[in-house]
Amino acid sequence: MIIIMLGAQGTGKGTVAGYISDKTGIKQLSTGDVFRKNINEKTPLGIEADKYISKGNLVPDDITVPMVVGYLDSDMAKDGIILDGFPRTMAQAEKLDEILTQRGKKVDLVINLVTPREEIIDRILTRRVCSNQTCKATYNTKLHPPKVEGICDKCGSPLVQRDDDKSSEAINQRLETYEKKTAPLIDFYKEKGVLRTEEVSSRINRLGKEVAEDIVKDIL
């Protein structure tokens, strides 16, 4: 099963994708996590990606697409995959369709998460992530704090704030980029009949875990 996570940063894509992965066994590929790991390790891929991510811009297709194809052709995707962070443009979506068709596959489900803008900004500014790259647990100092401040519940590693989560200016730039380049994918997948839109917001008391639980019930 090929699942795509759509939604602006801070809508809970990682939380929802992680829960679905845990319950179904379908592996999750977060392109953002891959880029950040490479940035931290200062690999050639990371150095190039950081030029764009640090400014709130999308990483170009000639960097992103080959990386994703590599994962699609690996054992990681043998039972399907949850793509979190790809595609982000119409060109990427069309390229993904082409790649999957060549492999006799297709996109089965697109989960589109929506959250009020002011809530997104607050969530990102208060988001903390595990510094252990093999854990990658995510917390929020307001909505989902760790049991011990600054320490991951799962592995005991220090929690950190991503560099691109520290600036309201960079966050707003990312949101504007999303609305301009990624939002058109909503209509693209709606026309294909695979889109499922869910609101994730504290104002309706419905967060990522509740959304994920409902989706898993429908998948299994």
Task: Tell me the CATH number for domain 2-116+168-219.
Answer: 3.40.50.300
Catalytic residue among 37, 105, 162, 196: 162
Instruction: Tell me whether residue 13 is exposed, middle or buried, using C-beta atoms within 10 angstroms of its C-beta: 0 to 12, 13 to 18, 19 or more.
Output: buried
Clarify whether 206 is annotated catalytic. Answer: no
| Residues 11, 116: Cα–Cα separation, whole Å | 9
pLDDT at residue 136, rounded to an integer = 80
pLDDT at residue 200, rounded to an integer = 95
What pTM was computed for the model? 0.83
Catalytic residue among 13, 95, 128, 136: 13
pLDDT at residue 57, rounded to an integer = 82
Residue ranges covered by each domain of the chain = 2-116+168-219
Q: What angle do CA 166, 29, 85 make, to 5 degrees?
A: 50
pLDDT at residue 198, rounded to an integer = 97
Clarify whether 103 is annotated catalytic. Answer: no
| Residues 167, 161: Cα–Cα separation, whole Å | 11
Task: For the chain, list residues with pLDDT below 50.
Answer: none
Catalytic residue among 36, 88, 95, 128: 88
Catalytic residue among 36, 95, 127, 128: 127
Clarify whether 174 is annotated catalytic. Answer: yes
